[in-house]
Structure 1
Amino acid sequence: MFNPLEHKGIPLESQIRNWRELNVEPIDPEAVDPYTRCRIITMNGIEVEAINFQHQFARNCPDQEVRRQLAYVRYLESQQQRVVNWLLPGAASVLETTLGYEQVAVDLTAWVARHEPDPYLKQGYEFGVLEDFDHLYRYANLYEMVERRKADKIVQGLTEVMPGRPTVVEHRHPFDEVRTPYDRNTVDPRSKLHALTILSAEQQVMFYYMNVGPQYMEPIARQLYQEISLIEQEHVTHYESLLDPGENWWERLLTHEYNECWLYYSFMQQESDPRIRAVWELHLQMELAHLQQAAELLRRHDGREPEEIVGNAGLPEPLTFEPNKEYLRHLLATQVDLNKIGEGYVREAHERFESMQQQLHDGQKPPSEQVIDMHRERFGDEYRIETEGPHPVESLRARGGSHA
């Protein structure tokens, strides 16, 4: 297996790109492979997290030389983020990009859940993916109402569109979003990468929705983005609490760089667009040098070898964007009614949950319910893509029919 610690990559001093190199051609929204879009959205979130993390590190680091090194690599990461995010086309609407974000949230989280070795962490991903699955369904109905276009244009049958855990019941007391963290000394190194990847992706969804939501004129669109952006904030709390708070800055830096190597390597293996694959290949070579710098900082300031943090077996199995329909249907059939209490999961409502529901909803239907009602009123049914048959949960099957 490829071991990024054994490769030097492009020297740091050779990585700054000029304007011509930064001015990348965006993907064609009418012809792009949906999973190419997903890979772009994912790596944008990963790069944004890398930048934000290094800013926080710099604010908590008294060593001026380290701060200078962080500033330099952070600039390189910023150029990478601009290249990746600028691959998304201006011709795509905010809602079309949103549908791409939710396809990422569904199929990325489902893949991680399927491959997570720790049962508690696995349960955390399985719980979260059913909520993003529902968001995709709500936004798909909004998309048809606002733009008169169908979500299958974006997901192209790779991801089903139907209710998950209804968004209305996703609003829980913040206390119940905090999970039990993994133990950095005993956890499988894969689990560290999984947690950081999903946290980064969900964080980017939160940032995106909380900024683009006010751009809409339609009241229901503004309200739906407001509601789901609050859920995404809950998800960030959920996933960030899985990380061991005992990890120090040096090992976190190493894990961030190692994770970027894993993801660029993974996406390089499966990318169907040669032009985009070249971006992943270039960025991997850059990240290898970032990793070497992080490893040296770890040795110098923490007295440990990088293998003590990420293991010595090389990168884990490449992360793959692929359909997860059967797996998601199984989760719907067995876990859609799960709730949280404390750091665990239950199947019944409880006082703290019901109190939060009452305070927030105050006897009114939230936007996530209103959008489906409005779609039914306008089109006579709701928008779904159910390629594998009726919804596995009878109570969530379409009332009065649906169309794709």
Structure 2
Amino acid sequence: MAFDPLQERGIPLDEQLRDWRELNVTPIDPDRCDPYTRCRIITMNGIETEAILFSHHMARHCRDLEVKQRLARVRYIEAQQQKVVNWLLPGASSVLETTIAYEQVAVDLTAWVARMEPDLRLKQAYQFGVLEDFDHLYRYANLYEMIEHRKAEQIVDQLTEVMPGRPTYLHHRDPMDNVREPYQRRVTEPLSRLHALTITAAEQQTMNFYMNVGPMYMEPIARQLYQEIGLIEEEHVTHYESLVEPGESWWERLLNHEYNECYLYYSFMETESDPKVRNIWELHLNMELEHLRLAAEMFRRFDGRDPDQVLAPALPPPVTFEPNKGYIRDLLATQMDLTTLGTGYVREAHERFEKMQEAVMGGERPPSERVVDENRAISGEEYRLQTEGPHPAGLQVSR
């Protein structure tokens, strides 16, 4: 029988507060963990961070003191959840190792969402974006080999290939061409809403991460690469957040956020290979069931509708981290030369794109190209991890 979070009872809010001992979780072992356990952790950190930021933004637009107080109580629990989830990551991992894991999340989560997305227009948005994150993984893997003298396969464990995608320098577009048309909330399927929230949150945390860790490096090429890709992650957040219907009320958005948290915690509880981490997913799911109940209560009171009018009657099939090698290769073979124009996609460079390229490049070779050149000069060849099959024809690494 399908799991319906609206019909389940969670932990009462008054019983959700945890002390320091309970928050002090044991991190995963970076050398022995399932790479997809690390991906699930990174994903849920992004989801919890989005929940906290959304709640803050909602409170800033709310005049009702009682509602603001309720948001604050739930938000504090969300903040505790975020600390537990993010603190599962090991301090022994370097910033670059965590970066490569972030990009593995971006590749395999976005590819899975693209495969499952029922709306063809939204599917295209995810397919377009995943080829860019795939290339970011390749650029960071070369940086990792160059300055830490290790290979990305130790992190991704050959579950995700490392090779060129759509070249990073081609990701710099006129900002107006990063905005997509939103889904239509009255006709779109509930699953599409969850997908848009999930990928927006994941890309947002990547953007924030690169904004903050980039200056921590001494090596000029590392600082420059984080700066370049950090700007592209801002483009990606614009790309994905514009898919969400802006006509949704604050109460509907709150309801969707809480439902999505239930969906993802349930998904990861069902698919997690690490028993200790699975226990955390289960605990947080039971907390989120209560958060969803409170959001549904406010939705009925202030929006005047029943949650069943906007939510799925039961959770969709679980979100699954799994290899997407064949799917990515098909996209590489068919969509490498796409760029955006307005809210659509074209295969040829246009005036706005060329103007942006000229302005950003300033006549110089970008960091994303130089990092491959420099690693090739040091290591004798650029770093790639290709597991099987021929390399997609026509892929170009450099300008």
Normalised TM-score (structure 2):
0.99
**What pairs with 1:147-162 in structure 2 (closer than 5 Å)?**
147-162=148-163
State the alpha-carbon separation in 1 of the partners of residues 259 and 395 from structure 2.
44
State the alpha-carbon separation in 1 of the partners of residues 58 and 165 from structure 2.
37
- The question of whether the paired residues in 1 share the 8 Å contact of 2:369 and 2:398 is answered with no
Aligned partner of residue 310 in structure 2, secondary structure: helix
Q: 2:360 is matched with which residue?
A: 360
Q: 1:264 is matched with which residue?
A: 265
Aligned partner of residue 251 in structure 1, secondary structure: helix
Deviation readout 1:37-87 (Å, 9 max, x if unpaired): 000000000000000000000000000000000000000000000000000
Aligned partner of residue 149 in structure 1, secondary structure: coil
Q: 1:385 is matched with which residue?
A: 385
Q: 1:174 is matched with which residue?
A: 175
State the alpha-carbon separation in 2 of the partners of residues 388 and 6 from structure 1.
46
Q: 2:184 is matched with which residue?
A: 183
Deviation readout 1:321-357 (Å, 9 max, x if unpaired): 0000000000000001001000000000000000000
Aligned partner of residue 365 in structure 1, secondary structure: coil
Deviation readout 1:74-105 (Å, 9 max, x if unpaired): 00000000000000010000000000000000
Question: Counterpart amino acid of 1:21?
Answer: E
Deviation readout 1:374-398 (Å, 9 max, x if unpaired): 0111111100001123320334379
Aligned partner of residue 394 in structure 1, secondary structure: coil
State the alpha-carbon separation in 1 of the partners of residues 316 and 195 from structure 2.
10
Unaligned runs of 5+ in 2: none
State the alpha-carbon separation in 2 of the partners of residues 15 and 223 from structure 1.
43
**What pairs with 1:322-401 in structure 2 (closer than 5 Å)?**
322-396=322-396
Q: 2:70 is matched with which residue?
A: 69
Q: 1:315 is matched with which residue?
A: 315
Identity of aligned residues (%): 69
Aligned partner of residue 138 in structure 1, secondary structure: helix
Aligned partner of residue 310 in structure 1, secondary structure: coil
The size of the alignment, in residue pairs, is 398
**What pairs with 1:295-310 in structure 2 (closer than 5 Å)?**
295-310=296-311
- Aligned-residue CA RMSD in angstroms? 1.0
- The question of whether the paired residues in 2 share the 8 Å contact of 1:339 and 1:346 is answered with yes
Q: 1:243 is matched with which residue?
A: 244
- The question of whether the paired residues in 2 share the 8 Å contact of 1:391 and 1:397 is answered with no
- The question of whether the paired residues in 2 share the 8 Å contact of 1:390 and 1:397 is answered with no
The Cα of 1:310 is off from its aligned counterpart by 1.0
- The question of whether the paired residues in 2 share the 8 Å contact of 1:102 and 1:135 is answered with yes
- The question of whether the paired residues in 1 share the 8 Å contact of 2:38 and 2:101 is answered with yes
Question: Counterpart amino acid of 2:363?
Answer: G
**What pairs with 1:2-401 in structure 2 (closer than 5 Å)?**
2-312=3-313, 314-396=314-396
Question: Counterpart amino acid of 2:242?
Answer: S
Deviation readout 1:171-199 (Å, 9 max, x if unpaired): 00000000000011100000000000000
- The question of whether the paired residues in 1 share the 8 Å contact of 2:167 and 2:397 is answered with no
State the alpha-carbon separation in 2 of the partners of residues 126 and 154 from structure 1.
24
State the alpha-carbon separation in 1 of the partners of residues 65 and 153 from structure 2.
51
Aligned partner of residue 345 in structure 1, secondary structure: strand
Aligned partner of residue 142 in structure 2, secondary structure: helix
- The question of whether the paired residues in 2 share the 8 Å contact of 1:27 and 1:89 is answered with yes
Unaligned runs of 5+ in 1: 400-404
Normalised TM-score (structure 1):
0.97
State the alpha-carbon separation in 2 of the partners of residues 315 and 203 from structure 1.
24
Aligned partner of residue 348 in structure 1, secondary structure: coil
State the alpha-carbon separation in 2 of the partners of residues 157 and 273 from structure 1.
19
Aligned partner of residue 53 in structure 2, secondary structure: helix
- The question of whether the paired residues in 1 share the 8 Å contact of 2:164 and 2:395 is answered with no
State the alpha-carbon separation in 1 of the partners of residues 106 and 45 from structure 2.
13
Aligned partner of residue 340 in structure 2, secondary structure: strand
- The question of whether the paired residues in 2 share the 8 Å contact of 1:5 and 1:288 is answered with yes
Question: Counterpart amino acid of 2:9?
Answer: K
State the alpha-carbon separation in 2 of the partners of residues 349 and 398 from structure 1.
17
210-219 vs 386-395, which deviates more?
386-395
- The question of whether the paired residues in 2 share the 8 Å contact of 1:42 and 1:201 is answered with yes
- The question of whether the paired residues in 1 share the 8 Å contact of 2:167 and 2:398 is answered with no
Question: Counterpart amino acid of 1:269?
Answer: E
State the alpha-carbon separation in 2 of the partners of residues 197 and 394 from structure 1.
32
- The question of whether the paired residues in 2 share the 8 Å contact of 1:189 and 1:309 is answered with yes
State the alpha-carbon separation in 2 of the partners of residues 389 and 379 from structure 1.
24
State the alpha-carbon separation in 2 of the partners of residues 251 and 378 from structure 1.
54
State the alpha-carbon separation in 2 of the partners of residues 28 and 375 from structure 1.
28
Question: Counterpart amino acid of 1:35?
Answer: Y
Aligned partner of residue 57 in structure 1, secondary structure: helix
Taking a change above 3 Å as real, the CA distance of residues 245 and 305 of structure 1, as seen in their structure-2 partners, is same
Q: 1:402 is matched with which residue?
A: none
